Amino acid sequence: MSADPLAWLVSLEGVPSAFAGARDGIDAVLRDRGLRRTSPEMTAESLLRGAHASAVLEGSAASLTEVREGAGDEIAADAVRVSTELLALIPVVRRTPLQAFARLHALAGHGSVPADRLGRPRDPESAGVLRTIADIVTAPTEAPALAVAAIVHAELFVNAPFASHNGVVARAAERLLLAAKGVDEKSLVVPEAAHLALRAEYESNLRGYASGTTSGIHAWLLYAAEAYAAAAEASPLVRAAE
């Protein structure tokens, strides 16, 4: 692996400007609307909304109200369990991403996956994939932090290295990296809600990414920038200001 495995991303047409615009939108929400309104309760609400959206994308039929009341289905409970420990993994993902990914799966799969499979890759090939993704997280790069989070999300999703819940893990890892890399340290934007609102585009662009072509990866990155802008608008900070 080169010293900067994502260097080539910044040469793709429109990608740097798209992510710069998305970052400006996130910064505006966090700075202008969050200056006096940020609180642990707001973070908890953002994480809850994200857990609900991720669960629906994974196949849950639970409503946000049901999830808030603890009355959702099993998939929703799995996603909420991940969200409750997510921010505690910030220092872990910075130092040892493999450990963070394993913990995300252990949380998501608890009760539905055999104990000896929790947090473990499906096979040797999947173990290699996870090591490569971990290297992406820790390698020095000129690529924007948003692009790193988007690539890690897509790699975890399309390679499905765990026995279950790969979508939940991928979306949780994305949010975790936005916090760990200083984009949204208090986890107030809601990327999962953006992916749900843009579900057709989200799923289509993940299929394109899975093709492994430059055009598929390019399209995913442009989609991700759009989704991050929508994630900022999905923040409870925005609703509180309305």
* Series of mean pLDDT values for 10-residue runs along the chain (242 residues): 81 96 95 72 96 98 95 96 97 98 97 93 97 96 96 98 97 98 96 98 98 97 98 87 46
Q: For the domain covering 7-241, report its CATH number.
A: 1.10.3290.10
pLDDT of residue 242: 44
Which 3 state secondary structure label does DSSP give 241?
Answer: helix
Residue the block writes with tokens 């080169």? 2
pLDDT of residue 22: 98
Give the tens place of pLDDT for each residue, 78-122: 999 999 999 999 999 999 999 999 999 999 999 989 999 999 999
Angle, to 10 degrees, between the axis of helix 74-85 and the axis of helix 166-180?
A: 20
Domain residues of the chain, as ranges? 7-241
Q: How many CA atoms lie within 13 A of 2 on its CB side?
A: 7
E strands within 69-199? none
Question: H helices within 29-73, ranges in order?
Answer: 40-57, 64-68
One-letter amino acid identity for 147?
Answer: A
User: How many Å apart are CA 211 and CA 149, to the nearest integer?
Assistant: 19
Residue 186: Cβ-neighbour burial (10 angstroms; 0-12, 13-18, 19+): middle
| Closest alpha carbon to 104 in 6, 202, 45, 180 | 180
pLDDT of residue 135: 96
pLDDT of residue 61: 97
User: How many Å apart are CA 63 and CA 230, to the nearest integer?
Assistant: 20
pLDDT of residue 240: 58
pLDDT of residue 180: 98
Q: How many CA atoms lie within 13 A of 207 on its CB side?
A: 6
Q: Which residues contact 96 (CB under 8 A, 6 or more apart)?
A: 134
pLDDT of residue 239: 66
One-letter amino acid identity for 120?
Answer: R
